Structure 1
Amino acid sequence: MEKSRKKFIDVIDKAIVAGNTMDRDELLFSYKGVLYPVTLCSLEVFRAMESFEARSDDVILAGYPKSGTNWVGQILNDLVATFEKKRRDEEKSVSDEELEEFPYLEIGDTEKYERMKKLPFRRVILTHLAPGNLPKSIFKNKAKILLLIRNPKDVATSFFHFSNAWSALPSYETWDDFFVAFMTEKMPWGSYFNYLSEWNKYAADENVMTITYEELKENRDMGVKNIASFLGISLTGEELRSVVERSSFQSMKENSLKTHGALGSMLFRKGGVSDWKNLFSEEQNEKMDKVFEERIARTKLGAKLKYEVYCKA
């Protein structure tokens, strides 16, 4: 993960250039009732994605935007690469650059899914999609799914700063304007509350493991060990410690220009918990608390989020 990722950076650079030339109301399009950024996604790619054939040993990292998917993606890729390094070195017949694909399943071109057939086994695939918009083969073939969730107030706060920093997404003049959009389902990749509700239906499946951003921040060592165990990856204590060290916020931020290009400084802004307290008004707190209580609180994922701990002033 520390090496330069040419294809990733190329896609991001093109999205930045395209976003800079577009009006705000041109940046998003709708597919199956959900908004997506036109500089990254397209109707043609979504249609092509339906033919994607998942493998039983695929590792799918599912997380709503600004839940920490780039961070946990680093951990997953590092665990898999460390575990399979010897076999991959022996079997490698083409270069990493030739095999490289943009890590998010829904972002790319229509030929991406055909090329992905050539990727080595134990593919690590990231996605912001809700389960209903994912290829059916992911569930049919029982790919391993790591579901990453984060407290909704910090998701909203991080998404606000990210939207205003990246030209590929609509920006907002004020936090109040953004909060209205977030609460009225006008966000890229849809409503976070809908996302949690949909994924909750799969939270008890044996091939799904749920982890929260907050628990990983509190104890990264234990989180990495639990993820490795879920994936059936056996590493030495020293190998696990190395993965943990490379996944620190400071380490990833220092390497972000090489790994994420111009997007790096936008992705790795603070990496903390409870930044929402700097933005939310009392009225906004009450509104989100009410929606969470009505829709998410009594679900498996709702309990996992520890809302009372992380979202109450």
Structure 2
Amino acid sequence: MNDVPEDGAPPSGPPWIVPEIQQKIAWRDGDVVISVPIKSGTTWTMNIVHQLLTGGTDDFRDVYEEVPWIEFLAFPGQPQEVVVERVTAMPTNTRRAFKTHSPPPAVPFQSVGSGTDVKYVVIMRNPEEALVSFRPFLNKHSDAWYELWGVPREALCRPDFPSFYSDVIDANGMQGAIFGFLAAWWPLRNEPNVLFLHFSDMKSDHQGSIRKIAEFIGEELTEEQWANVLEFTSFPWMKANEGKFEGRTASEIPILNSGAMIRKGAVGEARMDGMTEEISQHLREVGGQICPDPVAIKWVYEGGTLLN
């Protein structure tokens, strides 16, 4: 297996993800940035924030219309300004929320007192679980989408997890997409406008986690609204309405085949999905090189209370 790149930097992503777009956004007071690495609860958190900002609603077509992905291009050659203009054109009488897979500095961090009140909801997941979930997700991207971008399916897809880890993750230094993300956000975890949550803790305490996010972003709901939010953010409801979470309005070309976004979100089942002891040890070794703080590494694997 390959060694981690010397600089430990996260690798560049697929061509439809262009993090530099985010540098051009004019942030507003009240904005919520949902910053989550690959396959770590992004779509779920997008829906949670959307539900909290609206008081709980099932009246939306596509969560990507409501919570734009601010580093995403819909087709090769799409001007970055189109993304920026769409964000700028969002109504000023309601709060905005955005998705990003980038940590700072790729997504600009507005510290408290900088003049703009932006909140950052940062979710992380056990790296083993995230990576075993990443393989079927890439497999469920449509042929049309890969063809549009000139990316051969075999460049990102494999029939089993060991070959996926060796040929796609390790060969491209993609461990940095998780551990580089952790290393970038970890020093900011105690900032007053940053909320760190672990996917496993969110799964074990659905209501408590959503209330924590609501308190953090400053949204108060009625009991009726709470009931709606809890229903519409539940796994059964999202699975039954998965068409609302597959980015169908993000491009004229289908990005995903059905069932790609809302998979199972299980905790503690990485071994069942192909993770081996050898890969597990290698992943943790590489992760420790990218993010050498043992407290951060322990937390990203196990969750629980954040330590200062």
Q: TM-score per shorter chain, which class? A: 0.7 to 0.9
Residue 155 of structure 1 is matched in structure 2 by: 130
Structure 1 unaligned residues grouped into runs of 5+? 1-31, 86-94
3-state SS of paired residue (1:125): strand
Between stretches 118-127 and 225-234, larger displacement belongs to: 118-127
Q: Is 1:282 paired with 2:277?
A: yes
> Structure 2 vs 1, CA of residues 61 and 268 (structure 1 numbering), >3 Å: closer, same or farther?
same
> Structure 2 vs 1, CA of residues 100 and 297 (structure 1 numbering), >3 Å: closer, same or farther?
same
3-state SS of paired residue (1:113): helix
Q: Is 1:72 paired with 2:45?
A: yes
> Structure 2 vs 1, CA of residues 201 and 308 (structure 1 numbering), >3 Å: closer, same or farther?
closer
Alignment partners' CA distance in 2, 1:33 and 1:67: 16
Between stretches 168-177 and 289-298, larger displacement belongs to: 289-298
The alpha-carbon deviation at position 154 of structure 1 amounts to: 0.2
Alignment partners' CA distance in 1, 2:10 and 2:199: 28
> Structure 2 vs 1, CA of residues 228 and 263 (structure 1 numbering), >3 Å: closer, same or farther?
farther
Q: How does 1:129-140 map to 2 (within 5 A)?
A: 129-135=102-108, 140=114
CA deviation map 1:17-68 (0-9, x unaligned)? xxxxxxxxxxxxxxx9732222x235xxx55542211113100000011011
What letter corresponds to residue 225 of structure 1 in structure 2?
Answer: R
Q: TM-score, normalised by structure 1?
A: 0.73
The alpha-carbon deviation at position 218 of structure 1 amounts to: 0.5
The alpha-carbon deviation at position 116 of structure 1 amounts to: 1.6
Residue 181 of structure 2 is matched in structure 1 by: 195
What letter corresponds to residue 285 of structure 1 in structure 2?
Answer: S
> Structure 2 vs 1, CA of residues 184 and 299 (structure 1 numbering), >3 Å: closer, same or farther?
farther
What letter corresponds to residue 123 of structure 1 in structure 2?
Answer: R
Structure 2 unaligned residues grouped into runs of 5+? 1-8, 147-152, 249-255
What letter corresponds to residue 270 of structure 2 in structure 1?
Answer: W
Answer 1 or 2: which has greater helix percent. Answer: 1
3-state SS of paired residue (2:35): strand
Identity %: 24
> Structure 2 vs 1, CA of residues 295 and 96 (structure 1 numbering), >3 Å: closer, same or farther?
closer
Residue 12 of structure 2 is matched in structure 1 by: 35
The alpha-carbon deviation at position 183 of structure 1 amounts to: 4.0
The alpha-carbon deviation at position 273 of structure 1 amounts to: 0.8
Matched residue count: 262
Q: How does 1:145-294 map to 2 (within 5 A)?
A: 145-167=120-142, 168=146, 170-180=156-166, 181-183=168-170, 185-187=172-174, 190-260=176-246, 261=248, 262-278=256-272, 279-293=274-288
> Structure 2 vs 1, CA of residues 241 and 203 (structure 1 numbering), >3 Å: closer, same or farther?
same
What letter corresponds to residue 88 of structure 2 in structure 1?
Answer: K
Alignment partners' CA distance in 2, 1:232 and 1:213: 21
> Structure 2 vs 1, CA of residues 55 and 265 (structure 1 numbering), >3 Å: closer, same or farther?
same
> Structure 2 vs 1, CA of residues 64 and 255 (structure 1 numbering), >3 Å: closer, same or farther?
same
Aligned alpha-carbon RMSD (Å): 3.1
CA deviation map 1:119-156 (0-9, x unaligned)? 13410101001212114668853410000111101001
